[in-house]
Amino acid sequence: MEEATKELYAKEFYGGKLKQNTGKFAQKTVTDAKEDVKKWILESGNADILYELNESPVRCRCGAECVVKLLDNQWFLNYSNPEWKEKVHSWINEMKILPEEIRNEFNHVVDWLKERACARQHGLGTKLPWDKNWIIESLSDSVIYMAYYIIAKYVNAGQINAEHISDSFFDYVFFDKGDLKKISSDSETNPERLESIKKEFQYYYPVNARHSGRDLVPNHLTFFIFNHLAIFPKKYWPEEIVVNGSVLMDGKKMSKSMGNIIPLRDAIKIHGADSIRLAILISAELLQDADFNQEAVRGIKNKLENMLDECTQYKTAKYTVLTQEDRWIQSRLQQLISKATSSIQKMRLREALHHILYEFDSDLQWYLRRVEAKNRTDYSGILHEVFSARVAMMSPFAPYMSEEMWFRAWKFDLVSKSSWPTPDEAKIDLLSVQSETLLNATLSDIRNIIKVTKMNPKERLPIYTAAPWKAKAYQKILERVTSGDINIGNLIKLLISDKETEEIKKDPDFVKKTVNDILSNPQDERDSKNKVGLVDEIKVLSELESLIKNEYGISLQVFSESDQNKYDPKNKSRTARPYKPAILIE
């Protein structure tokens, strides 16, 4: 509910539009109209601004009380400058920001941001170059620390004399301006070293992606854009900002006073770095607060250990003849690679991990049930190929355990040196995908019926596929639904006008049920069924024989609804629909 509420409020704020009864503000989005309405009310004299502190006294992190006072001759950064604001707005709309919905928030901050003090008179810090009575306030210059880090290591190593660094030194490193020999002499820096520092800066700049929390959007991250645009040429402006939520502990904010903070080193000793990283990543997408739950961490640790054991079971082996379940697991692997790649490109890491860790796990369990029911022993090579790709995709998220898995299964090189898997369209067999989906769904239906009726089949289990005319009608309905036509009346007329499907007039409810069946499927499954066309359900469902024999110890009988010699004492077959076989439990 909390997630749904947050999502709803965000859509309302960024996408909601004011109604016509709001006069000149009608059709403006809430986020755009908010400041305009406030300004209008103030200008009309119907409101005033009241500043207040929510908590008193205000204390710093060290526990000391904070006292606010006015200072004479205070220095400010003029974030009110309209030309500077316009420049920043333009770049915010051009650069990459993830998630996309935070872009409006940045623009909103730029709009209200005014002059900000850039210096103070007490505390630790660097003296203001042009006024030694003042110390540079941390948020004024720390936002370009990426450039500072490149130079600082040389100062700390004694390779640069900080006392002799002048503006010309920075002009050469950051802007490639000036005479190398003269600047080298003035700054007492070796020419080769000075040239090396410049090239290092040019290598690391621009900043490819700045990751930080949402609480820094109104200050640090916005200053980061402002200051970079003021100081550096456009080719060095930041390319991307990625904003994430906070990390909670068992659903609560971390706080020393609450005692719910675990030192990082202790957590790593207990759970391992990979388990902690995955637990945080898989609990939330960007902007959402990640919930660090120790029970979840233990579950992920067990999951990784089980994967490690699985990797040692399947060795590389050649295979030539592929069965339906082999083609299916290969197809599902290619689809997994495609979905995980797409999710990572969008920085939807939780989604990517869900595909890699959990969604595909159910596919593997189904595949193993299929091959074991057939008493097969020739599938090691297939699973070795599957685990190879899966471990490679796990590597960026769980590097330590992935290397161990790779070593145990392959015993050469490093998984971190391998390429990210690319989907092979030639290995995607949509017919096998639809066939195995039908088998899985039918077996699930059988179980549910037995659970509800509390009846155990004793001798045989008859199931019935839809009559041929229903299969053809289904395909026609699917084509029309895919193109956007879900009008039941139109569909019935279309089917009655075709001799192959005119029997629909005996069962008009079939159309409505079929439309609902189709709409209940995800879009990709509808597209897949449309491409595959009619499936031989009798042949496909016969594959259930080994599973039914293993689970219930009885034989499976598959009949067509149109079979005159079928065993159907309760006339169950009349309820059969394509991809929804009728089932008789006796």
Q: Which residue has the higher pLDDT, 30 or 248?
A: 30
445 pLDDT above the threshold of 90: yes
239 lies in a domain? Answer: yes
Task: Kindly indicate the confidence band of residue 448, based on its pLDDT and cuts at 50, 70 and 90.
Answer: very high
Place of tokens 């820096």: 189
Over residues 537-553, the mean pLDDT reads: 91
Task: Kindly indicate the confidence band of residue 240, based on its pLDDT and cuts at 50, 70 and 90.
Answer: very high
Over residues 1-11, the mean pLDDT reads: 85
* pLDDT of 78: 94
Same domain, 129 and 177: yes
476 pLDDT above the threshold of 70: yes
- Range(s) of the domain holding residue 198: 116-244
Give the integer Cα–Cα distance in Å for 460 and 585.
9
Instruction: Give CA 227 to chain center in angstroms.
Output: 30
* pLDDT of 81: 95
Pick from 384, 411, 427: which residue ends a domain?
427
Over residues 349-374, the mean pLDDT reads: 91
Same domain, 271 and 392: yes
Same domain, 498 and 470: yes
The chain-wide mean pLDDT, for the chain, equals 88
76 lies in a domain? Answer: no
- Show the tokens assigned to 347: 């920085």
Give the integer Cα–Cα distance in Å for 272 and 266.
9
Same domain, 466 and 420: no
User: pLDDT per residue over 490-538, tens digit each?
Assistant: 888 888 888 888 888 888 888 888 888 888 888 888 888 888 888 899 9
**Longest distance between any two alpha carbons in the chain, whole Å:** 102
93 lies in a domain? Answer: no
Pick from 389, 412, 427: which residue ends a domain?
427
Same domain, 483 and 550: yes
* pLDDT of 235: 94
DSSP readout, 45-72?
A: TS-------SSSS-B-TTSPBP-----T
Q: Which of 58-62, 192-196, 266-270 has the least mean pLDDT?
A: 58-62
DSSP readout, 66-90?
A: P-----TT--EE-TT-HHHHHHHHH
Nearest residue to 115 (alpha-carbon basis) of 65, 143, 152, 80: 80
440 lies in a domain? Answer: no
89 lies in a domain? Answer: no
Residue type for position 107 = N
Nearest residue to 388 (alpha-carbon basis) of 366, 410, 369: 410
Per the CB < 8 A criterion, the answer to whether 581 and 559 are in contact is: no
Query: What CATH number did the domain enclosing 342 receive?
Result: 1.10.730.10
Question: What is the phi/psi pair of residue 127, to 5°?
Answer: -65, 140
Same domain, 269 and 393: yes
Kind plus residue range of the DSSP H or E element containing 400: helix 399-410
50 lies in a domain? Answer: yes
Task: Count the domains in the chain.
Answer: 4
User: pLDDT per residue over 307-320, tens digit each?
Assistant: 888 877 877 777 77
User: pLDDT per residue over 140-177, tens digit each?
Assistant: 777 898 998 999 999 998 888 888 888 899 999 999 99
* pLDDT of 412: 76
pLDDT exceeding 90 applies to what percent of the chain? 41
User: pLDDT per residue over 378-396, tens digit each?
Assistant: 888 888 889 989 999 999 9
Q: pTM for the complete prediction?
A: 0.68
Q: Which residue has the higher pLDDT, 262 or 131?
A: 131
Give the integer Cα–Cα distance in Å for 377 and 288.
45
Same domain, 259 and 406: yes
Kind plus residue range of the DSSP H or E element containing 242: strand 240-244
* pLDDT of 228: 95
Kind plus residue range of the DSSP H or E element containing 116: strand 116-117
Q: What is the CA radius of gyration of the chain?
A: 33
End-to-end CA distance of the chain: 43
DSSP readout, 326-344?
A: HHHHHHHHHHHHHHHHHHH
Q: What does each C-alpha distance from 575 to 58, 477, 488, 494, 509 come to in angstroms?
A: 71, 18, 19, 22, 11
Place of tokens 């898989």: 282
* pLDDT of 296: 84
255 pLDDT above the threshold of 70: no
Sign of CA dihedral 486, 492, 494, 500: positive
* pLDDT of 524: 84
* pLDDT of 256: 63
Same domain, 236 and 268: no
Query: Three-state DSSP class for 247?
Result: strand
Q: Which of 218-232, 257-271, 481-495 has the least mean pLDDT?
A: 257-271
Same domain, 136 and 53: no
Strands 290-292 and 247-249, sheet pairing: parallel
Give the integer Cα–Cα distance in Å for 275 and 305.
10
Kind plus residue range of the DSSP H or E element containing 477: helix 468-482
Same domain, 396 and 488: no
Same domain, 458 and 506: yes
55 pLDDT above the threshold of 90: no
* pLDDT of 486: 82
Pick from 244, 272, 293: which residue ends a domain?
244
Q: Which one-letter DSSP state was computed for residue 577? A: B
Nearest residue to 86 (alpha-carbon basis) of 61, 113, 46, 66: 113
Task: Kindly indicate the confidence band of residue 323, based on its pLDDT and cuts at 50, 70 and 90.
Answer: very high
92 lies in a domain? Answer: no
56 pLDDT above the threshold of 70: no
Give the integer Cα–Cα distance in Å for 436 and 366.
9
Instruction: Give CA 566 to chain center in angstroms.
Output: 50
Task: Kindly indicate the confidence band of residue 258, based on its pLDDT and cuts at 50, 70 and 90.
Answer: low
528 lies in a domain? Answer: yes
Same domain, 323 and 420: yes
Give the integer Cα–Cα distance in Å for 44 and 47.
8
Over residues 104-110, the mean pLDDT reads: 93
Q: Mutual orientation of helices 430-453 and 545-552 as an angle, nearest 10°?
A: 30
Question: What is the phi/psi pair of residue 128, to 5°?
Answer: -65, 120
